[in-house]
Chain A
Amino acid sequence: MISEKGLWSRIRLRLLFTGPTLFAFATVMIVPFLYGIYLTFTNWDGISTTSTMVGFENYAYVWKDAVFWKSFYLTLKYVFISVALVNVAAFLLAYFLSSGMKGQSFFRAGFFIPNLVGGIVLGFVWQFIFSNVLVSIGQKAGISIFGTSWLADPDKAFFALIIVTVWQYAGYMMVIYVAGLMNVPKDIMEAASIDGATAFRKLRTMILPLMVPSFIVCVFLSLQRTFMVYDLNLTLTKGGPFKSTEMVSMHVYEKAFLSRDYGVGQAEALVLFLLVAGITLLQVYFSKKLEVEA
C-alpha cells in the first residue's frame, strides 16, 4: 500500500481521517462510561460539587432494591413475550411477502410505517386508542373486555405495551427477514420441489435452517430495543397504573434524575448493562451453532 513520506504528514493524515470520529466517540461514549463506573462508588446527589467515596454501598443497595428487581423481572417478561411475538409475526409477514405475489412491495412498505415514527408519538396514539376508542366501542357494542380502559388495569396495561411493541417492530424485522429470504438459493428450493417437498416441508427443513443468520440479527436487535424500552413506556402507560408497568429503564431514569440518587442510578444502569450484554451475547453464541451451509 502507498504510504506518505515523513512522520509529520503521516500524523496529519491520521488526525484528519480518524481524529474527529475517534475524539467524539471517546468523549461521548468512553469517557462518560468510565466516569460512570467511578460515579457508582460515590454518593453524588446531582447538585453538590463534592461527593464522598462510599465503596460498594451503592451496589449493595442495588442488590437489596426490591423495586429495581421487580421492574427488572417485569422487563424480562415483557422482553421475552415481545421478542417471541415480534419475530414470529415478522417472519410470517416476510414469508408471505416474498413469495412473488402481486403488490408485495406495497405491502412491505405499508407494514414498515410504524418504524418511521418515534416511540413518543406512537405511545400517545395508542394511549388514545386504548383509553378512548376501544372504550367507546366496548360500551356501545357491549364488549365487556373493552368496557374500561386497558391502561387503568395493571395486567391489561402490560399487554397493551406488548401489543404496541409487536405492532411497532414487526415491520422492521420483516424487512430484515425479507432480505434473508431473498438469499435462500433458488436452485436447491427447485430441487426440493422436484423431489416432491410440500411448502411446509420446505419451510421447516430448508428455509428455517438457512435463515438462522437473519434470526440472530433480528433477535439481537429486538432484545436490545425491548430491554431498553423507554419512550413507549413513558407515553403509553407512564409506568402506571400504580407503577405496575414501570420498566427497568424508566426506573433507572427516575432513580437518577427524579430521586437524585445518581450513584445508585448509575450502579443500576451498569448492572442492567451487564445483564443485557450477557443475555444478548449468549443468544448470539448459542444460535451461531445452529447455522448451516446451503
Chain B
Amino acid sequence: MKRLKASMEWSKFIVLLVGLVAFVFPFILLIVNSFKENKAITASPLSLPDSFNLANYESAFTKMNYVSAFSNTVIITVLSVLLISVLAAMTAHFFVRNQSKFNQYTFFLMVAAMIIPFQAIMIPLVKVYGNLHLLDNKWSLIYMYLGFGSPLAVFIYHGFVKSIPAELEEAAMIDGCTRTQTFFRIVFPVLAPTSVTIAILNVLWIWNDFLLPSLVLTSSEQRTLPLSTFYFYGTYTVDYGPLMAGLLLTILPVLVVYLFAQKFIIQGVMQGSIK
C-alpha cells in the first residue's frame, strides 16, 4: 500500500513535470532560436544552435532602441507604482478613519468604476488630453496610471487599514505626532505587506501594458518596451533571428526579477485576489 502510494506520487510528479516543460516550451524555443541565423530558424526551428552567436542580440539591441525603451519603461513603471502605492494608501486611510457619507459614496464610486473597461474610456481620453496638448508625454502617462490604478489600490488598502487598531494612531498623536506624521511613521510602515502586493500587481500591469501607451506616446523616442517590440516586429517581419532576440530582450528583465522575487510575486497575486 505504501509502495503504491509512493509510485502514485512519482507518476503525478512526472506528469506535472512533463506538463511544465510543455508549458514553458515556447520560451525555450525562443531562447534556442535567438542564437541562430535566419536560414537555420526557418529550416529547422527545433534544432539547437551551432554556436552562441550574439549577432542577433546586437542587431535587436540597436534596432529596438533598447536602452531608451528600457529606461522609459523603468521610469514610467517605478514612478507610477510609487505614486499609486503612497497616494492610494493615504486616501484609503482617510476614508477608513473619517466615515462620513461623502467619503463612503466616493469610495463606492471608485469601487464601482473598476468595472469600466479601458476600451470604454480610451476614445474620449485621447480627445480630452489631445485637446489639452498633453499627449506624447511620459508624465501624462504616469498621471493616467495613477488615475486608472488608484481605485483597485484604494480598495485593497481600505480592507487592510480597517484591521489597524485606531489606538495605535491615537497613542502616536498623544505623543505629539500630527495626522500626516502618524500616517507616514505608523500607518504606512504597518501597511508594508499590502504595499508589496499593490506594487506587484501594478508592476505586472504597467510594465506590460500596450494599448494605453500606444495611444499616449506617439513619438518613437518615448516608446516603452512593449511598444518598441511591436514596431520592431512590424518593421522586420521576416528577420527571425533579431526578432527572437528582441522578444527575449523584452522578457529578460521581468524573468530576472521573477527569479529572485517569485515567492513575493505569487503571494502578491494571492493577497490581491482574496479581497
Contacts and interface: CB of A to CB of B under 8 A. Distances in A.
Contacts of A126: 26
Interface in B84-102: 87-88, 90-91, 93-95, 97-98
A125 B30 contact: yes
B119 to A, nearest CB: 5
Contact of A33 (B24, B91, B124): B124
B13 A101 contact: yes
Interface string B106-120: 100110010111111
B7 to A, nearest CB: 13
Nearest to B33: A128
A33 B151 CA distance: 15
Contacts of B215: 257
Interface string A37-69: 001000010100000000000000000000000
Contacts of A110: 20, 23-24
A276 B16 CA distance: 35
Contacts of B113: 25, 29-30, 33
Contacts of B95: 18
A187 B143 CA distance: 49
B173 interface: yes
A148 interface: no
B258 A116 contact: yes
A117 interface: yes
A25 B150 contact: yes
B37 interface: no
Nearest to A116: B254
A117 B46 contact: no
A151 interface: no
A24 B153 CA distance: 13
B13 A175 contact: no
A13 interface: yes
A25 B250 contact: no
Interface string A78-118: 00000000000000000011000111010111111111111
Contacts of A96: 12, 16
B208 A35 contact: no
A158 interface: no
A132 B41 contact: yes
Given A18-B90, A132-B41, A31 B128 contact: yes
A119 interface: yes
B58 interface: no
Contacts of B30: 125, 128
Contact of A118 (B109, B173, B209, B266): B209
A121 B229 contact: yes
B119 A107 contact: no
Contacts of B245: none
Contact of B124 (A32, A112, A179): A32
A125 B204 contact: no
B211 A108 contact: no
Contacts of A115: 204
A188 B12 CA distance: 25
A269 B120 contact: yes
A273 B120 contact: yes
A28 B143 CA distance: 8
A289 interface: no
Contacts of A121: 208, 226, 229, 247, 250-251
A21 B146 contact: yes
A273 B233 contact: no
A124 B243 CA distance: 9
Contacts of B115: 224, 277, 280-281
Nearest to A137: B46
Contacts of B262: 109, 112
A162 interface: no
B49 interface: no
A14 B27 CA distance: 49
A120 B258 contact: no
Contact of B125 (A13, A28, A105, A277): A28
A231 B229 CA distance: 12
B270 interface: yes
B193 interface: no
A273 to B, nearest CB: 4
A162 B94 CA distance: 44
B117 A227 contact: yes
Q: Which 10 A-B pairs have the closest CB atoms?
A: A28-B147, A118-B208, A17-B94, A24-B147, A36-B124, A273-B120, A179-B270, A32-B124, A21-B150, A32-B125
29 contacts: A13-B180, A21-B87, A24-B147, A35-B124, A36-B121, A96-B12, A102-B9, A109-B266, A110-B24, A112-B266, A113-B23, A116-B255, A116-B265, A120-B230, A121-B229, A124-B229, A125-B26, A125-B247, A126-B26, A129-B29, A136-B42, A167-B23, A171-B23, A228-B117, A230-B119, A231-B210, A253-B119, A256-B123, A277-B115
Interface of B: 9, 12-13, 16, 20, 23-24, 26-27, 29-30, 33, 41-46, 83, 87-88, 90-91, 93-95, 97-98, 103, 106, 109-110, 113, 115-125, 127-128, 143-144, 146-148, 150-151, 154, 166, 169-170, 173, 179-180, 183, 204, 207-211, 215, 226, 229-230, 233, 240, 243-244, 247, 250-251, 254-255, 258, 262-263, 265-266, 269-270, 273-274
